[in-house]
Structure formats: structure tokens, C-alpha cells
């Protein structure tokens, strides 16, 4: 069984797909990485907010959330200019997945 501890050790978008055994097109992840991981981070936060202690359920939720985000982008979702600029503050990307998962917020320095 996949664990939260293993999940928290993941760092790249590809790591998440490989961790859950999800087939993906490298070109989609390469071109939409930031947007996909931002959307995934939002879903992760929602899952953590409703976490009831059942780690297997949470891991299933995380896997489904990644599939959902990936399929949105694979099927042509394109972020608006507002979404793109809203992800950047002071010349730096904000709110990456590592920060969303961190209890301190902003732990990776993004």
C-alpha cells in the first residue's frame, strides 16, 4: 500500500504519475506542468481538509485527483491569462504542490 510518507517524498510531476502507476504523455506534462501541479495542489488541500484518518482512502483520492487534473489538460483545458498571472507573484511562481502539502506553507522557497 502507498503511504502518505512516500507521497510526501515525491518532488516532480513525473514522480506522482509513476507513484500511482498512471500512464501519461510526457509532452503534456512537460508543457502544462506548472498549471497541472497547481490544480493538483488545490485538490490535495481539499482532500487533506476532509481527511478522516483512513490513509488508503486518502491515497485513492490523491490518485483520482491526479487523473482528473491530467485528463482535464489532456482534453484541451488551457489556463486563462488570469490563471497564469495569478500563479506568479513578485516574479516567482507561487503555490506549488510542495508548498500546498507543507504544514508551514511555502517550504520549498517558491
8-26 average pLDDT score: 96
Secondary element (H or E) of residue 92: strand 92-93
Task: Considering only residues 40 and 94, tell me which one the structure prediction assigns the higher pLDDT.
Answer: 40
Q: What percent of the chain has pLDDT over 90?
A: 43
* CA–CA distance, 33 with 26 (Å, rounded to integer): 10
pLDDT confidence of residue 52: 86
Question: Which residues are paired to 88 by β-bridges?
Answer: 93
pLDDT confidence of residue 62: 93
pLDDT confidence of residue 50: 85
Average pLDDT value for the chain: 78
Q: Where are the domains of the chain?
A: 4-101
- What's the per-residue H, E or C state across 25-57? CHHHHHHHHHHHHHHHHHHHHHHHHCCCCCHHH
- Predicted TM-score of the model (pTM): 0.71
Q: pLDDT tens digit string along 39-93? A: 999 889 888 888 888 899 899 999 999 999 999 888 876 554 445 445 445 444 4
pLDDT at 18 over 90: yes
pLDDT confidence of residue 76: 79
Cβ-in-10-Å burial (0-12, 13-18, 19+) of 66 comes to: buried
Amino acid at each position: 500500500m502507498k503511504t502518505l510518507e512516500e507521497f510526501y517524498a515525491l518532488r516532480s510531476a513525473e514522480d506522482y504519475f509513476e507513484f500511482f502507476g498512471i500512464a501519461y504523455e510526457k509532452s503534456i506534462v512537460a508543457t502544462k506542468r506548472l498549471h497541472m501541479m497547481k490544480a493538483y495542489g488545490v485538490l490535495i488541500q481539499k482532500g487533506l481538509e476532509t481527511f478522516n484518518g483512513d490513509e488508503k482512502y486518502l491515497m485513492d483520492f490523491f490518485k483520482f485527483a491526479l487523473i482528473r487534473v491530467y485528463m482535464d489538460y489532456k482534453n484541451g483545458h488551457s489556463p486563462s491569462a488570469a490563471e497564469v498571472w495569478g500563479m506568479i507573484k513578485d516574479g516567482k511562481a507561487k503555490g506549488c504542490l510542495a508548498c500546498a502539502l507543507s504544514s508551514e506553507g511555502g517550504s520549498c522557497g517558491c
